[in-house]
Amino acid sequence: MCSVCAAIVANSCRSAGDEKYTPRVQAEPATPSAPFGRDVIETIIPHRDPFLFLDEVTELEPGRRVVARKGVRPDEWFFPGHFPDRPIMPGVIMVEALAQAGAVAVLSLAENRGKLALFAGIDDVRFKRIVEPGDELTLTCEVEAVRGPVGKGRVEARVGDELAVRGTLTFAAQ
H/E stretch holding 104: helix 91-107
Cα R_g (the chain), whole angstroms: 20
Residues 37 and 14 in one domain: no
Residues 17 and 89 in one domain: no
pLDDT tens digits along 140-158: 999 999 999 999 999 999 9
The pLDDT value recorded for residue 7 is: 38
The pLDDT value recorded for residue 14 is: 42
Catalytic residue among 38, 82, 129, 154: 82
- Give residue 28's pLDDT band: very low, low, confident or very high (50, 70, 90): low
Residues 88 and 46 in one domain: yes
Residues 44 and 6 in one domain: no
pLDDT tens digits along 94-112: 999 999 999 999 999 999 9
CA-CA-CA-CA torsion sign (37, 137, 119, 81): negative
pLDDT tens digits along 35-66: 999 999 999 999 999 999 999 999 999 999 99
CA 38 remoteness from chain centre: 10
The question of whether 47 is a catalytic residue gets the answer: no
pTM of the model: 0.83
